[in-house]
């Protein structure tokens, strides 16, 4: 039996009505809303043009980080699942600076995450 636990702490941004994102496909930008975020990827609600996205497609994604010293990040990613208007993307590669930015943003939005998960995340036992 395999262990199916997530490798990264996944949070729903708290205190934010909507967190914007865009998927860049060539010259087209597909508007999205962030459903959840981790250091490994994003769960996105696609607002339009969902049919343009395919499983395992490589994309660039820009996420807007509200109340952050870094207003937005554009990252390379791969579409990992597509379910109705929800898609999951996995970051293809994060440099140390962008990983630290995401880590800090996630740490600030741990509301609703179980206490022990918060503790493990704080001590670096989870990413």
- Per-domain residue ranges of the chain: 20-121
Estimate the share of the chain in helix, then strand, then coil, as percent rounded to the nearest 5.
20, 40, 45
What is 20-121's CATH number, 1.10.3720.10, 3.40.630.30, 2.40.110.10, 2.40.10.220? 2.40.10.220
Q: Taking the model in full, what pTM does it have? A: 0.76
Residues 38, 106: Cα–Cα separation, whole Å = 7
Q: What is the pLDDT of residue 87?
A: 93
Residues 5, 66: Cα–Cα separation, whole Å = 28
More confident residue, 4 or 31: 31
Beta bridge partners of 61: 23, 75
pLDDT score of 74 more than 70: yes
Q: What is the pLDDT of residue 9?
A: 62
What sign does the dihedral 58-93-7-104 (CA atoms) show? negative
What sign does the dihedral 105-75-89-17 (CA atoms) show? positive
């Amino acid at each position: 039996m395999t262990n199916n636990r997530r490798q990264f702490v996944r949070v729903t941004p708290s205190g934010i009505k909507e967190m914007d994102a865009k998927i860049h496909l060539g010259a087209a930008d597909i508007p999205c809303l962030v459903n959840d975020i981790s250091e490994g990827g994003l769960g996105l609600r696609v607002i339009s043009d969902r049919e343009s996205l395919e499983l395992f497609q490589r994309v660039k994604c820009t996420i807007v980080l509200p109340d952050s010293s870094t207003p937005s990040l554009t990252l390379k990613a791969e579409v990992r699942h597509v379910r109705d208007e929800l898609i999951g993307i996995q970051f293809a590669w994060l440099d140390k600076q962008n990983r630290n930015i995401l880590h800090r943003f996630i740490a600030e939005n741990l509301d609703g995450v179980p206490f022990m998960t918060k503790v493990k995340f704080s001590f670096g036992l989870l990413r």
